A = this chain, B = another copy of it.
Amino acid sequence: MRDKRTDLAAAVAAVADGAVVALGGNTLHRGPCAAVHELVRQGKRGLEIVKTAGAYDVDLLCATGCAAAVSAGFVGFETAYGMAPGYRRAVESGAVEAREHACATVIAGLRAAIQGVPFMPVAGLTGSDLPAARGFRAVADPYGGGEVFVVPAIVPDVAFLHVQEADRFGNGRIAGTLFEDVLMAKAAKRVVLTAERIVDGAGFAEEPAAVAIPALLVDAVVEAPGGAWPLGCAGCYEPDAAYLAAYTRAAKDPAALAAFVAERVLGQVGAQAR
């Protein structure tokens, strides 16, 4: 297994405009924000963002013109900070297409990609306008069990995942909830791990079951302390409430948002400081 350590700028430079980008984590927790900030800094365009439930990460990529589409079940800042202003404005203006999913259909699409099949059946969705709005088709069960909705494979060009600990080969350990990170690691063509710390990893061999993301699936690993900030990272830090409140306030107005991004997002990149 080869040493896959690199820096964030190089790992992000390989992302083409128009790429399908999966982001690990969920709402205010363990999103790969250092990588997202670098996507913003490098001025990527036309990205399709894949996530079950996003918040700051998805919102910022919409607000800064990086995203052209969002395939997600939910985009919002939960109870504390409310709706996602950048996402909302970008969708309402037509700049971003809201490819709304049930979270379960994001999972189904990733599962199809993982299993190398073109589509995945998914239970439910009956009575919802989503299948019609999103073009999800139903197929007949050839074994006589009626019809079931199927979702096309979601194959991310790249998945950015932030983990607490990795070794230089890209074996990643996650503390707390896994979210959809493991599915994304398996479904994506390319996987970039950012890690709070890169460790020697000799101890990993004593506890191989503790590795959530096997190095086999990983193409690049980047040491990025604070790499989920301003979101939380279990066992390391909580969401940065003051920053998120300031962001959601600023993001309601394009000019205020531009100033906020220049000062507090782009100003942070490289330093990866909190």
Contact = CB atoms under 8 A, between A and B. Distances in A.
A61 to B, nearest CB: 26
Given A116-B123, A209-B210, A137 B148 contact: no
B121 A119 contact: yes
**Identical subunits present:** 2
Interface string A104-145: 000010001001111111110000000000000101111101
A151 to B, nearest CB: 9
Contacts of A230: none
Contacts of A146: 118
B115 A122 contact: yes
Given A137-B142, A142-B137, A142-B139, A148 B210 contact: no
Contacts of A116: 123
Smallest CB-CB A-B distances: 6 pairs? A118-B145, A117-B121, A137-B142, A118-B141, A116-B123, A143-B152
A117 B122 CA distance: 6
Contact of A117 (B117, B123, B152, B209): B123
Interface of A: 108, 112, 115-123, 137, 139-143, 145-146, 148, 150, 152, 209-210
A103 to B, nearest CB: 14
Max chain B Cβ within 10 angstroms of own Cβ: one of A123, A209, A210:
A209
A237 B209 CA distance: 20
A32 B209 CA distance: 22
B152 A118 contact: no
A123 B115 contact: yes
A72 B225 CA distance: 47
B123 A121 contact: no
A210 B212 CA distance: 11
A210 B173 CA distance: 13
A118 B140 CA distance: 10
